[in-house]
Structure 1
Amino acid sequence: MLSVFAGGWATSFTTIGCASVAEAYQGDFQAKMFAYISICRTLSPLLGPFLGGYILAFYEWKATFILVFVLVGVALLGM
């Protein structure tokens, strides 16, 4: 159940980010910001398994959950 909540939470950042850019910026700068968001959405599924495999090669599986916890904390501080 917690993973479903975490997945919903993670996707909300993309939705909120796109809505914020649409409201705050106009023209070429808005297009540039949407391009950055698209790059992040494209690279995340590619880098996630790579980073997870790298962590598992050197640490126990629990380290991946610690990393997620730290990244969520950083994201919440950014909000």
Structure 2
Amino acid sequence: MKNKGPSSQSYIAQSGQAVVEYLLLLAVVVSLIASITGIIKERFLGDLDNCTGANQSIACNLKSLITPGQFRYFKVRR
């Protein structure tokens, strides 16, 4: 009999290892994305109910721009 290359058992073991590696890589990427979205939510959105001077989130800054209590009214003299 002639040896035609790697046996089918070896090929199945190698493809199984590749699948396991891809699944582990996928798990790492998903965990990184989950942690990054948590950081983004905390830093950019913040707690809109607790917008104090110390809270410098983008959402609180936008809220302070839109809040009508921050406007000053002027009378125009003619």
TM-score in terms of structure 2 length: 0.32
Bigger-Rg structure (1/2): 2
TM-score in terms of structure 1 length: 0.31
Q: Which has the higher helix share?
A: 1
